[in-house]
């Protein structure tokens, strides 16, 4: 008897292939991970204004060894005076008072994340205090305080693995950072971190706060949570704070979070008062860290 075998071949375009997740069962480790690798530059003016560049870089897809298997250009403009979408958790940096020589730079830099399945924003506030204190030779110093807060929400099968802000003074040759703050440990429902200027008499303090779903861990470091060349280069002047799912680096399909997650970090930098103009011009590099994977077998 002759038997007829029918072979069906599915032809899929290149674009469709990029939209599909790794072929993993619910208990198998996901081997395709998306990471945002983009930076923005914020410089300051003598009259208290911020000048924010676009947030530019790329979104890469890496395998479990960290090898890049795909990349897509990424670029967004900073928003000025943006209003959070309805239902988006509140994030804020506020200062408690104003002292002589204190400058809050406005507007704060707000970089939106408005991808197909990842929504959120990252806000960066900068402040300075002239004549903060005097060095060993009696010369005055100026201090800059940065407060970064933000995060993202995963939708339609996107599972968030890392989310949080990073910032660094834009000089890899020196180390002017004298203070850092971030939260460590199990994630509370809402929390804040506070950092003040190092001055002889009580100075201005800045509090950053965030509301998020309590799960897994908050972390921080002078180095980024995943490969980010620019922030690695600036690590001696950096502060990074992020939320991280406990499944990393080997997450199964349903690992990660589909809720809003983020973090708060603050840094304090000090310079000779005469160097203030140079510091304003060099500025600070700002980074949103977003790592996620797709849990939907049909693509996200």
Q: What is the pLDDT of residues 154-213, one digit of tens each?
A: 999 999 999 999 999 999 999 999 999 988 876 555 656 776 777 665 567 776 766 666
Sign of CA dihedral 228, 210, 33, 64: positive
* 78: exposed, middle or buried (Cβ count in 10 Å: 0-12, 13-18, 19+): buried
The pLDDT value recorded for residue 23 is: 46
What is the domain partition of the chain in residue ranges?
A: 34-294
Cα separations (Å) of 91 from 88, 240, 250, 265, 266? 9, 17, 30, 12, 14
Confidence at residue 114, expressed as pLDDT on a 0 to 100 scale = 95
Statement: residue 18 has pLDDT above 50: no
Using alpha carbons, select from 85, 69, 108, 84 the residue that is nearest to residue 208.
Answer: 108
Distances (CA, A) of 16 to 11, 20, 34, 173: 10, 7, 16, 45
Alpha-carbon distance of 87 to 200, in angstroms, equals: 42
Q: How far apart are CA 165 and CA 122, in angstroms?
A: 7
Burial of residue 51, with CB atoms counted within 10 A of its CB: 0-12 exposed, 13-18 middle, 19 or more buried: middle
21 pLDDT above the threshold of 60:
no
pLDDT recorded at residue 187: 59
**How confident is the model at residue 249, as a pLDDT?**
92
Which range of 15-29, 210-224, 271-285 scores highest in mean pLDDT? It is: 271-285
Predicted confidence at residue 256, as pLDDT, reads 95
Tens-place pLDDT, residues 86-127: 444 555 788 877 788 999 999 999 999 999 999 999 999 999
Average pLDDT score over the chain: 85
From first CA to last CA, the distance across the chain in angstroms is 47
For the cut 50, the answer to whether the pLDDT of residue 8 exceeds it is no
Q: Which of 7-21, 116-130, 227-241 has the lowest mean pLDDT?
A: 7-21
pLDDT greater at residue 90 or residue 64? 64
CA distance 116 to 298: 15
């Amino acid at each position: 008897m002759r038997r007829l075998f029918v072979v069906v071949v599915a032809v899929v375009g290149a674009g469709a292939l990029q939209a599909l997740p790794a072929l993993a069962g619910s208990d198998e480790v996901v081997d395709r991970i998306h990471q945002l690798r983009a930076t923005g530059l914020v410089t300051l003016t003598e009259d208290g204004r911020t000048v924010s560049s676009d947030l530019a870089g790329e979104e890469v897809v890496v395998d479990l060894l960290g090898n890049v298997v795909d990349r897509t250009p990424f670029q967004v403009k900073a928003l000025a005076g943006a209003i959070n979408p309805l239902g988006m958790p509140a994030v804020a940096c506020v200062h408690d008072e104003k002292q002589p020589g204190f400058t809050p730079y406005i507007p704060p830099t707000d970089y939106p994340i408005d991808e197909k399945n990842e929504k959120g924003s990252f806000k960066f506030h900068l402040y300075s205090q002239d004549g903060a204190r005097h060095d060993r030779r009696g010369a005055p110093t100026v201090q800059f305080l940065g407060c970064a807060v933000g995060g993202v929400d995963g939708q339609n099968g996107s599972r968030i693995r890392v989310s949080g802000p990073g910032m660094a003074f834009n000089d890899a040759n020196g180390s002017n950072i004298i203070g850092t703050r971030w939260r460590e440990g199990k994630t509370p429902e809402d929390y804040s971190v506070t950092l003040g200027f190092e001055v002889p008499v009580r100075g201005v303090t800045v509090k950053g706060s965030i509301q998020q779903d309590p799960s897994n861990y908050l972390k921080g470091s002078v180095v980024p949570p995943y490969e980010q060349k620019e922030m690695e280069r600036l690590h001696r002047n950096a502060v990074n704070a992020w939320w991280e799912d406990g499944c990393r680096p080997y997450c199964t399909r349903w690992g990660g979070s589909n809720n809003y997650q983020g973090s708060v970090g603050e840094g304090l930098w000090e310079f000779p008062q005469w160097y203030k103009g140079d510091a304003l011009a060099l500025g600070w590099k700002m980074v949103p860290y977003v790592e996620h994977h797709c849990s939907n077998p049909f693509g996200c």
